[in-house]
Amino acid sequence: MTTVDQSPLARLRELGAAGRLTEDHAAVAQLLSQIASGAQGLADLTRAGQILARRDPDEILRRATDSGETVRPVTVAVTGHSTIEPLVAPLTAEFARHGYLLRPSVGEFDAYLRDLQDPSSHLYSRDTELALVVLDPQMIFDELPKPWSVADVEQTVTAKMAQLDRLVGNYVRHAKATLVLNTVPLHRIHTHSLVDLRSRTRLSVAWRSFNTALLGLSEKYARVQVIDLDPLIAEGGPVHDQRMAVYAKVQLGDEVLSRYAREVGHLIRALHGRTKKVLVVDLDNTLWDGILGDDGAEGIAAATTFRGEAFGLFQRTVQQLGSQGVVLAISSKNDREAVLAVLRDHPDMVLRDTDFARINANWEPKDTNLTDIAARLNLGVDSFVFADDSSFETGLVAMSLPSVAVVCLDDEPALHTSKLLADGWFDVLDLTDEDRARGELYRGEAARSDLLAGADSMAEYLRQLGIRVELKLVEQPDVARVAQLTLRTNQFNLTTQRWQQADVTDRINDPDHLVLSIRSADRFGDNGVVGALFARRDDGELHIENMVLSCRVFARGIEDAVMGTLLAYARDSGLRAVHGRYLPTAKNGKVREFYPAQGFDTVAEGAGGELTFRHDLQTIPAIPDHVRITSNFLDRVEGRLA
Amino acid sequence: MISKADFIRIVRDELALPLADKDLDEDLDQVVNWSSMLLVRLVVALEKETGQKVQISGLLTERTLQGIYARAVGA
C-alpha cells in the first residue's frame, strides 16, 4: 500500500503490514512517543495499541533474546465488573512507549470478586506484577433491587466497601503484585432516575463516601494504588457511550480507559524506580513571552500582559515541581550574562537563577547541552525531561537522545502547563524528605564543584569538605527513602535488586538481617540518606546482599568508610567472614572493582559476569582520614548477629 | 455517504482487523472474532466519519460486513 499520509500512526501501520513490529522496538517506541505528543495523542495511541496487541509477546521475547535487545516484559492481570478488553490496546501502547512489553491476562466478564477471592486466579499468579481491578458504577447498580431507592444504594455501597476491604486485605497478604483500583463515576442517568432533589443529593453523598473509602484503601495497604478517575474524566470526553454500555457492557469508554492506561504506564515506571529526575526548560517563549536576544530584557514578559501571565503560570508549575525534588535546569540559546541578569532582576520572574541546578545558556546544540548538564549533575540523560516550544529543538533532542522525554510546547502558552503535566514523568509512590530537599542538594553540588576547582588536589578538596557519615539501623521512618534508593540507584548498586517498602520492612523485622542507612553531610549541607546496606547472617558469616549509594556522593571515601566500619564490626562480633556479590548491569560497571579494593578476595566468576567475593577479616581497611563516621548499630545489635 | 473503500479502511484502521475485500461477504464468524463491542466501535467510527447517527439495534443481527455496510450507510 502506498500512502501520502506519513503520520507516525501511518508509519506504524506500515511497519505492521511489513511484519516488522516484533523486532523494531526502538523504531516502535519512537513512533509511539511521536503519536503521544500529536493532537489526537490518546485516541491514536489506542489505535496503535490495537495493532501492537496482536503481536505474540513470547515471539517478541524470543527475538529480543536472539538479537540481544532489551525488552522488559511485565505481566499485568486485568479484571473487572464489565467488559474490560478495550483496556488492552491503550495499555499495550503506553507500556511499549516506556519500553515495556505488556503480557496481559484478562479475566472473564464480571469476575473481579471471584478473581480477588481465589488464590489460584490470575491475579495471584507469581508472574503478575500489576493487578488491575477496574471498577465501574454498575458494580453497585446491578446489585440493587429493581426499582431501587437511595436507601438501597446507601446499604449496597456500605456492604460493597466492607467486602472489598476484606478481599483486598486478603489479596495483599497472599500476593506479591501491586493492586490497582479506581474511583467510580456516577452518571446522570443514575442521579436523574430519582425525581426528588433531596434523594439525588443523598445519592451523591453516598457515592462520594464510597469513593472516599475506596481511596482510603491505598492509605491502609502499602501495595494498593487507587487511581482517581475524576480528574481524568474532567479532562473531557464522555465516561462512556451509552450504546457501548447497553449493547457491549462497556461501562468505561475508550477515552477514560486510555487516560487510565497512561496513569498505569507511569505507575509501572514509578514502581521500577524509573522516575525522571530533571526538568530542562528552554527560556524564550517557554518560560517567558518574547525573545531576549531580539526584544531585550524590557521586551520580554511573564506577568502584566495577557500572554505574559500565561508564562507566569507555567513558571509556577515548574516551581511547584522543583519544590518536590525535580531538579531544574535551563538549556537556552542566549548569551549567558543576559539570561542571568533577567533571572536575577526581572520583576516578572517567578523562577530565579538560584532555582536552577544548571543554567546552560550558550549557542551549542541542545543535545550537546543536555549531555553536558547530565555530566555535571552526575546523572544519566535518561532521567531527563526536556520542554521547549521550538519543534526544531524538540525534534533534535528526540532524535539524538531518544531516552529523554520530550515535551513539545507550542505558541499557545496557556497550554504549556497541561502539556508539561500530560504525562506523569515525575510520579513517585511516596515523596521523601530527601526528595523535597533535592534542589538544594544539587545546588550544593555546584558549590562543591567550585571548591574542587579552587583546591590544589583532590586530597586537599576532600579534607576541606569535612565529610561526616552516619551509619544507622534502618527504622520505619527511613523505609520509604531506603526502598527508593534501591529502586532509583543505577550506578553504585552492586546487585541492582529493586525493593519496595514492604521488602525493606520484611528485612528490618528479620533478626538475621542487618539493614543500614548511610547518611552524609559536609560543610555545604546535609545530604540526607544517601545510601543503604543490606546484609544477612548465615552460619557465623555475614552475606552482603546489596549496597547502594547515591551517585551524588560517591568517590568521596564514604563507601570506604562504610565498608571499613562494617568489616570491623563483623570481626569484633566474632563472625568468620563477610561475603559480597557483584551483578553487572549496563550502568553499574564502575563498582565492579569495589569489593577487591576493600580487600575482598574474588571467589568465583559466574555466568553473565556475576562475581562473588569473600573477606577473611584478617586485615581490615582503614577508614579514610577525611571522613568522620559514626554508627548507632554497634552496641544496639550486640548479640543479634554474632 | 461513504464508499466501500472508505468502509474497509475504517474497519482496518479503527478495529485493526486485517480485512481482505472478499471478507465483506463472509459470515462474520468466519472473518474474525466478532463481538457486539466491535460493532459498536465500528458504528462510532462511522458516525465520526459521516456526522450521521447510525441505528445500532438493527445492525446487531447482521451476519456480514457487507450487510452492516449496506444498512449503516443506507446503500
| Model confidence pLDDT, tens digit, residues A496-527 | 989 989 899 999 999 999 999 999 988 877 88
The string of pLDDT tens digits covering residues A518-558 is 999 888 778 889 999 999 999 999 999 999 998 778 778 89
* Average confidence score pLDDT of chain B: 83
Q: Which of A7, A51, A244, A251 to mutate to test binding with chain B, by most B CBs within 10 Å of its CB?
A: A244
pLDDT confidence of residue A400: 92
d(CA A633, CA A53): 52
Q: Count the residues in chain A.
A: 642
Whether residue A567 contacts residue A559, with contact meaning beta carbons closer than 8 Å, is answered with: no
Residue A210: per-residue pLDDT: 98
pLDDT at A247 (0 to 100): 86
Cα A48 to Cα A109, A250, A336, B27: the distances in Å are 25, 20, 43, 27
The 10s digit of each residue's pLDDT in A367-397 is: 999 999 998 888 899 999 999 999 999 999 9
- Asked whether the bond before A147 is cis by omega within 30 degrees of 0, the reply is yes
Cell numbers 570481626 correspond to what residue?
Answer: A571
Chain B residues closer than 8 Å to A47 by CB: 13-14, 16
For A215, A355, A483, A495, B29, the CA distances from A552, given in Å and listed in that order, are 36, 18, 17, 19, 61
Identify the CA nearest to A370 among candidates A336, A404, A338.
A404
Instruction: Give the nearest chain B residue to A43 (CA atoms).
Output: B14
Q: What share of chain A is helix, strand, coil (3-state, %, to 5)?
A: 50, 20, 35
Which pLDDT value is given to residue A333?
94
Cα–Cα nearest to A221, from A528, A429, A360, A58: A429
Confidence of residue A640 (pLDDT cuts 50, 70, 90): very low
CB nearest B16 (choices: A50, A83, A254): A50
Q: What is the mean pLDDT of residues A134-141?
A: 96
**pLDDT of A62:** 87
Q: What cell was used for A58?
A: 513470547
Read off the C-alpha cell for B16.
485493526
For chain A, give the percent of residues with pLDDT over 70: 97
Coil vs helix vs strand at A79: strand
Chain A nearest CA to B54, separation (Å): 11
For residue B40, give the nearest of A51, A54, A248 by CB distance: A248
Strand order in the sheet with A278-281: A358-362, A327-333, A278-281, A384-388, A405-408
Is the pLDDT score of A420 beyond 90?
A: yes
- Cβ–Cβ gap B37/A51 under 8 Å: no
Over the range A466-486, which residues count as b (16 or more CB within 10 Å of their CB) and which as e?
ebbbbbbbbeeebbbbbbbbb
Angle at A369 between CA A367 and CA A370, to 5 degrees: 65
The yes/no answer to whether this complex scores an ipTM above 0.90 is no
**pLDDT of A3 strictly over 80:** no
What are the chain B neighbours of A255 within 8 Å (beta carbons)?
none
Is the model's pLDDT at A638 over the cut of 70?
Answer: no
Q: State the pLDDT at residue B40.
A: 86
The whole-angstrom separation of Cα A540 and Cα A189 is 69
Among A62, A63, A53, smallest CA distance to A105 is for: A53
Residues on chain A touching B56 (C-beta within 8 angstroms): 243, 247
For chain A, the average pLDDT equals 91
- Interface residues of chain A, partner chain B, Cβ below 8 Å: 13, 47, 50-51, 53-54, 83, 85-86, 89, 241, 243-244, 247-248, 250, 254
The answer to which of A41-55, A267-281, A555-569, B23-37 has the lowest mean pLDDT is B23-37
Check residue A435 and give its pLDDT: 83
Q: Tally Cβ neighbours within 10 Å of residue A326.
A: 21
Indicate yes or no: CB of A83 within 8 angstroms of CB of B60. no
Q: Among partner residues B13, B16, B35, which is closest to A54 by beta-carbon distance? A: B16
Sign of CA dihedral A580, A584, A585, A588: positive
Contact at CB, B37 and A54, closer than 8 angstroms: no
pLDDT for A54 equals 86
How confident is the model at residue A551, as a pLDDT? 78
Please give the average per-residue pLDDT across A562-581, as a whole number: 92
Residues of A in contact with B14 (CB under 8 A): 47
Nearest residue to A532 (alpha-carbon basis) of A553, A509, A512: A553
Residue B34 scores a pLDDT above 70? yes
The residue assigned the cell 466501500 is: B4
Q: Chain B residues with CB inside 8 Å of A53's CB?
A: 16
Helix (H) or strand (E) holding A281: strand A278-281
